[in-house]
Amino acid sequence: MLGRFFGKWGSTPLELLVVMLIALVAAIITVVRISDLSVFSVDNAHKRAELHRAIVHNDPPGDGTWGDSGANNVNVRVAVVWVAEHLSRMTGKSPDFIYRGIDLAALSVALLSIQALLKRWYSPVEAILGMLLFCLLLPLTALDHYFHPWDRPMLLLWAAMILALVNKRVVLFAILFAISVVIKFDSIFAAGMILFLYARSDNWRRVTGTTLIVAAIGAMPLAALLILYPGGQEPIDVFQQVSRNVSVAAELGIAYPPLLTHGLLLALGIAGWKNATTLLRRLWVFGLILLIPHVLVTNLLEVRAQIGTMLCMLPLALQGVLSIPELAGARRNQAAGDV
C-alpha cells in the first residue's frame, strides 16, 4: 500500500527519503550557515529591520528616497514582508527568525520541486544529480545582499511554474504566475516562456493569444500594487547600470558570480545540445534571454535575482553532464583504434 501511495507521486519511499535529506541539508547549509555572511549577518541586522519597517509602512528608510537606500522598486514586494510581520506578531518571534523559517521551508520544497522538474526528462538518479548541480551554485545566491526575503519563495515558484508549463498545465501556470508577480514583479517576463516554448508555424496565433492572456493576468495585480504603493519606482539610468555591471565584472574577474553560475550552465548546455530535445533547447535559450533585463537594469552581481535563468538552463546543463561518459567512451574507442 505504501508503495502504491508513493507511486502516485512518481517516487519510491527510498528515493523520496534521499531527495528530502539532500534538500534539507543543502537548505540548512545555505540558510543557517552561508546566509550568516550576508542576508542574516549581525552587521546588517539594523538595515534589515529598517527596510522591513519601511516596506510595511511604505515609507523609505532614512531621510532619502527608496533609490537612495538602494531599494528602488522594493516597496511593492509586500507579500512576504506582510506574512513575516503578521507571523512575528502572532508568535512573538523576531522578523529575522520568521524570515529564516520562510527561507528554510521554501528552499527545501524548491529543491524537491527541481528534482521533480528534472524527472520530466531524466531518471530519478539523474534528476538527483541535476539537483546536486544546482546545489553547487546555491551558495552564490545567498551572498551580496542584506534583505531579500522573497528570493526563496520565488525559487519555489519558478520551479513550479516551469514544471507546470512543460507539462502543459497552462491554467496552473497562470495561477502560479500571478502569485509570483505579487511576490516579486520581475517574474512578469515568465509569461513569454509560453510563446517561446510552444509557438510553431501552425499554431503561433493561438499560442500568442494564450501568452497575452496570461501576461494580462499577471499585469493586473502588478498594476494594483503600483497604484496602492506609489513612490518606490524611480527612473533607472541604463547606461550607468550597464557600466557599473561591467566595472564590477572586471574587478572580480574569474570570481564574478554570474560568470561562475551562468558560465557553467552555458558550457554544460552547449555540451548537451546535440542530444537534447527541442523543448530543452528552447527552455535553455529562454533562460539566456531572461538575463537581458538583468544586465540592463539590475546589479548583475546578485545572481539570486536571476533564478529564472538558472532553472531554465539547468535541464539542458544536466544533459551536458550526462554526455561526459559518452565523450569519454568516444575517446577510449579512438585510442583503441590508434593502437
- Please report, for residues 16, 67, 100, 163, 220, the alpha-carbon distance to residue 114 in angstroms, rounded to integers and kept in the order given: 13, 34, 21, 8, 28
Sign of CA pseudo-dihedral 208, 212, 217, 218: positive
Specify whether the backbone of 253 is left (phi greater than 0), alpha (psi in -120 to 50) or beta.
Answer: left
Helical ranges in the chain per DSSP H:
2-8, 13-28, 45-57, 79-91, 95-118, 124-137, 151-166, 170-183, 192-198, 204-228, 238-252, 257-272, 278-297, 307-322, 324-338
10: pLDDT confidence band, cut at 50, 70 and 90?
low
Q: pLDDT higher for 37 or 88?
A: 88
Arithmetic mean of pLDDT, 142-154: 90
**So what's the pLDDT on residue 73?**
85
* pLDDT (average), residues 57-65: 84
47 pLDDT more than 70: yes
Q: Where are the domains of the chain?
A: 2-233
Cβ partners under 8 Å of residue 287, min gap 6: 265, 308, 309, 310, 311, 312, 313
User: Does the pLDDT of residue 7 top 70, yes or no?
Assistant: no
DSSP code at position 159: H
Task: Give the separation between CA 209 and CA 187, rounded to whole angstroms.
Answer: 19
Measure Cα distances from 127 to 113, 140, 287 in Å: 11, 21, 19
Q: What is the C-alpha separation between 212 and 191, in angstroms, rounded?
A: 8
Instruction: Give the mean model confidence (pLDDT) for residues 48-63.
Output: 89
The arithmetic mean of pLDDT across residues 135-148, rounded, is 90
Work out the pLDDT band at 2, boundaries 50, 70, 90.
very low
**pLDDT at residue 54, rounded to an integer:** 92
For residues 193-203, average pLDDT:
93
Q: Please give the angle made by the CA atoms of 324, 326 and 331, to the nearest 5 degrees.
A: 95
Average pLDDT, the chain: 89
Q: Say which range, 115-119, 188-192, 319-323, 329-333, has the weakest mean pLDDT.
A: 329-333
Nearest to 148 by CA among 52, 231, 288, 213: 52
DSSP 144: S
DSSP state of 29: I
184: Cα separation from own chain's centroid? 11
Whether 1 shows a pLDDT value over 80: the answer reads no
pLDDT of residue 163 exceeding 60, the answer is yes
Q: Is 184 helix (H, G, I), strand (E, B) or coil?
A: coil
Q: Tell me what the mean pLDDT of segment 126-152 comes to.
A: 92
Q: Has residue 338 got a pLDDT over 80? A: no
pLDDT of residue 253: 94
Does the pLDDT at position 68 exceed 80? no
Percent of the chain at pLDDT exceeding 70: 92
| pLDDT of 326 | 63
Q: What is the sign, positive or negative, of the torsion defined by CA atoms of 169, 118, 115, 109?
A: negative
Q: What confidence tens digit (pLDDT) does each residue in 92-124 have?
A: 999 999 999 999 999 999 999 999 999 999 999
